[in-house]
Amino acid sequence: MMRRSAGPESPLTPPTAFEEVFAALPLLHPTPRSWAELAAANLPEFLADHAVCEQQVAVYALSLAGYYPEDPELVDRAAALAAEEVQHFRRVVAILRKRGWPLGGRRKNPWAQALRAQIVPGREPWTKVDRLLFGAMIEARSCERFTRLLEVIENQDPEVAHLLADLGPAERRHWELFHRLAGREIDAKALAVRFQRWREFEADLARGLGISPAVHGRNLAPSWCPSPSRRHARG
C-alpha cells in the first residue's frame, strides 16, 4: 500500500491510502498520525500489545460460538475467525521472538473494556446484536490503526509493514462479517440506528484516549470510563 500524496494538506491532492481506507470504515474519529509516529518509535511495545489483541479476539470469537450454539453460521464463522486470529498471534509472536522483543502478558485495554461494558446480557435479540457490533468496532478500529501505522513504517520496517499490509484487510473482512451477522437479527433500519450508537460511543472513547503505542491507545481519562447507567442498555 502506497501513500499517493506527499501533501495531505492540499485540497487538490488525491486522498492518501489511509483516507481511502478510513472512508470505508464505520469510524467517526480518525486516529491522528501522531499516534502512528509514537507507535513506530515504540514498535516493541506496539507489537507486544498487538499479539495480546489477536489472542483476545480469538478467545472472544470462541465465546460467541459458546453463547449461540444454535446459530450454525455464527458458529462456523466464529470458529474460522478464531483459527485465523490464532495464526495472526503466532505470526506476531514469531517477529517478536526473532527480534528478541518481549511478548507482553495480559494488560488492561480500557478502550475495549469500556466498549464491552455496553453489552447487557440477557436481552435478546439486542445482546446478540451488540456482541456482534462490539466485534465489528474492535476489528474496524484495528484495521484503521494498522493502516495508519503502515503509512509511517512502510519504508522503515519492511517486515512489520508486510504484516500490517496483510492484517489490515483481514480486520476489514472481519468487521464486515460481524456487521453482516448482526444484520440477520433485526431489520436494516434498526441495525443502522443501533450501529450508529456504537459508532458514536466508540468515537467518543477514541477521542478521549491518551496517545500510547498500544493498538487501541491507553490512559483512558476518567471522564471516559463507562457510566453505570450504560447508555446502550435499552434496545
Residue in 233, 229, 222, 218 with CA at minimum distance from that of residue 111: 218
94 versus 193: smaller Cβ distance to its own copies: 94
- The minimum distance between CB 72 and its own copies, in angstroms, equals 6
* Residue 113 interacting with its own copies (CB under 8 A): no
Is 207 near its own copies (CB under 8 A)? no
CB 139 within 8 A of CB 201: no
Q: Which is nearer to its own copies, 68 or 146 (CB)?
A: 68
**Do residues 77 and 104 touch, judged by C-beta distance below 8 A?**
no
Grid cell, residue 147, equals 493502516
Interface segment toward its own copies; rule CB under 8 A; list 21-29, 52-60, 113-121, 172-180 = 52-60
In angstroms, give the least distance from the CB of 77 to its own copies. 11
Residue of 58, 129, 153, 215 that binds its own copies (CB under 8 A): 58
CB-count burial class (<10 Å; 0-12, 13-18, 19+) for 155: exposed
Any contact of residue 80 with its own copies (CB under 8 A)?
Answer: yes
DSSP 86-152: HHHHHHHHHHHHHHTPPPP-----HHHHHHHTT--TT-TTHHHHHHHHHHHHHHHHHHHHHHHHHHH
**Quick one: which of 7, 197, 235 has its CA closest to 121?**
235
Q: Does residue 46 interact with its own copies by CB under 8 A? A: no
Cell 512502510 appears where?
154
Q: Is 106 in the site for its own copies (CB under 8 A)?
A: yes
- Is residue 59 within the footprint of its own copies (CB under 8 A)? yes
Q: How far is the CB of 46 from its own copies (least distance, A)?
A: 15
CA distance 103 to 28: 31
In the complex with its own copies, the residue whose CB is nearer, 100 or 228, is: 100
Q: Measured from the CB atom, is 70 or 187 closer to its own copies?
A: 70
Q: How far is the CB of 217 from its own copies (least distance, A)?
A: 20
Q: Does 233 bind its own copies (CB under 8 A)?
A: no
User: For its own copies, which residue of 9, 11, 70, 234 counts as binding (CB under 8 A)?
Assistant: 70
Find out whether 128 and 189 touch, Cβ atoms under 8 Å. Answer: no
CB of 139 to its own copies, least distance (A): 18
- What separation in angstroms does the CA of 95 have from each of 35, 41, 137, 152, 188? 22, 17, 26, 19, 42
Nearer to its own copies, 68 or 175 (CB): 68
Name the site residues for its own copies (rule: CB under 8 A): 48, 52, 55, 58-59, 62-63, 65-70, 72, 75-76, 79-80, 82-83, 86-87, 89-90, 93, 97, 102-106
